[in-house]
Structure 1
Amino acid sequence: MRLSHLVLENFRNHRALALEIGDAPVHLFIGPNGAGKTNLLEAIALLSLTKSCRGAEDDDLVMWEQPYLRVRGTAVADDGGERCVEVVAERTPRRRKATLLADARVPAGNVVGVLPSVAFLPEDLALFRGPPMGRRRFLDQLLCQVDAEYLRSVVVYQRLLRQRGALLKRIAAGDARAEELAVWDQPLAQAGAAIVAARSALLGTFSLTLANELRQLGLPWRDARMVEERQTQAGDAAGIERELLALLVHHRPRDIAHGATSAGPHRDDWNVHVDGRHLATFASRGQERLVLLALLALEVAYLELKRGERPIVLLDDVFSELDERHQQHVLSALGNHQTFLTATHAPPVSSAVHVWDVGEQQEVALRR
């Protein structure tokens, strides 16, 4: 996959921008902090996910005092076909949003993954020490791009979770009966089980090769795996569904008291364990950065395998704490994937890299 054109209107701090992107495999955005380099990568990721890869709400993506945003990308697929994706979101009380594929309006689910991408952003450095929400989002953003059924399960689960939460509050206020929860618990457990099973399978797949990826980056650890922390024990979706349903029934009194559902994939977690130790308990910041790069390599390979398409790679400020050897390793490992990077100053790169200057007034110009 190769992005050939990118158009932004009122996206973050970019009022109007149109880039014609050349055939170079690597593109480097250079500019001062605050110029909007990260926002360019976020806009590309928006075309993959139809929402912010950083967890921001659509309203936060719309330029200040502007009524809407528009991001449009045209790409050439590995088979030579052209793909055009557009996302439009309004900052209005109705918060209307439209997703277009080949200029035809389609449901957002039809767009997710059409322009596949993976991203490394500065906030990802909190992945191992931050709250579980970020780790769940890491899995969801990847799985939603390769599995339409998983995406459907996530959408259904989130809707049912909101509806059950509203009912819990009504029960606590005396406006509904606890028996009414049975209507929501079965479908919630079914959708939740599909999510848990898919996440578990992905973590298992990554665990098979994570240690090898880390060794290639010079980390001397013998064993590395991604360890689940979930409330269910079953390995298959049917078994997980039964366990989740039992937990939902068992925790009804507590859920009513707190006005929130306490069991399900929205409460699950995972982390990296190295040689039997939790990564966050001993790894340096530099080591954590290398682990993130290893995970990114696994994401790239997984997307390519599942979609039969090379994803676009987005690397924000990835070189700031890497020595030249690791910088060259990253570039060589991603050599056949279109890659967009950002930096405040240009690192040593080959003449084949297209360098773009991003100015303080958000102007973007190709240097070479």
Structure 2
Amino acid sequence: MSLTSPITERKLTIGTRNSKLALIQAERVSGALNNAHPHIKFPWQTVSVSGDVDKTSPFLKFGGPSDAAKNIWTEEMETKLSSGELDLLVHCLKDMPTRLPSGCVLGAIIHREDPRDALIIKASLRDQYTDLSQLPAGSVVGTSSTRRKALLRYKYPHLKIQECRGNIDTRLRKLDEGEFSAIILATAGLNRINMTSRISKHLPPSEFPYAIGQGALGIEIREGDTETLNIIQQIEEPLTRWICMAERSLLRTLQGGCSSPVAVNCTVENEDDQPRTRTCLRLEGTIIHPHGTSQVSAFEVAEMASDDEAEALGEKLAKRLEENGGRALLDEIRLVQEEEMGTSQK
């Protein structure tokens, strides 16, 4: 009688935040990976992060150099990734810092939903108003995003902006309970939790540009883990990767972050409907003063077929923005935020 050793089933554990949206995202990534690699299991494990623990403080409280404020969504998971407890992390890409901690890398960018922002007007007003411009003066609009606050102040100064934090269900409940006339959320999140019916209007990116990476999912892995990298890249979409890499390169070069009102709109340019061997992207960027007093915008267009070219597009646009007054505006924003945080040395 011959004896054989049992085959050990291989698995890679996914780390995710413990929210309805995060779990849906983790399940989607796990399913896609299982389809591509049926011989591997991809269970997920939830992790409590500081951004979910403190659900009331404005994001400015967490400000720091560059986009360090985004660490409130990633730091605890990255600790478990580095220790080997987790093998890959699934994030909303817009929540990921553009500079990751030592030992961690962005391995893949996938599943970009509609990146636009969505306006949700409370039920009692939906028959009367369909746009921000129509809301009466003094109407309260809720959002936690410094970018959205700045854009609202710049474009709709007649409105009152109020902090609105929490998961999507919490924010919608606050709207329904009458705390706000309207709130602004990411279309992608509402789509993923099947709440698209709550959207009153999609805000056009040409007028209300979105956050860097909004709608896309980022998979973070340990640096040097080439085996896991090869596995996750099987479900990556090259065009999505290049668009998001260009956007993140813009933000990284500007040294902006979660507390910096920087917005983008990236589109694919297809002239004359001719087949292309290289993708042509138009990347538009905007920096907005948090008080809504001014903004600087610019765009760049480039063909690309590689990560390096996508990074170069973002860097080129950042430099154009800086030359157009963006550097002075970012310096002013930093001083304003230091004063508001009580850290100004003046």
* Bigger relative contact order (CA 8 A; separation at least 6): 1
TM-score (norm 1): 0.25
The normalised TM-score by structure 2 is 0.26
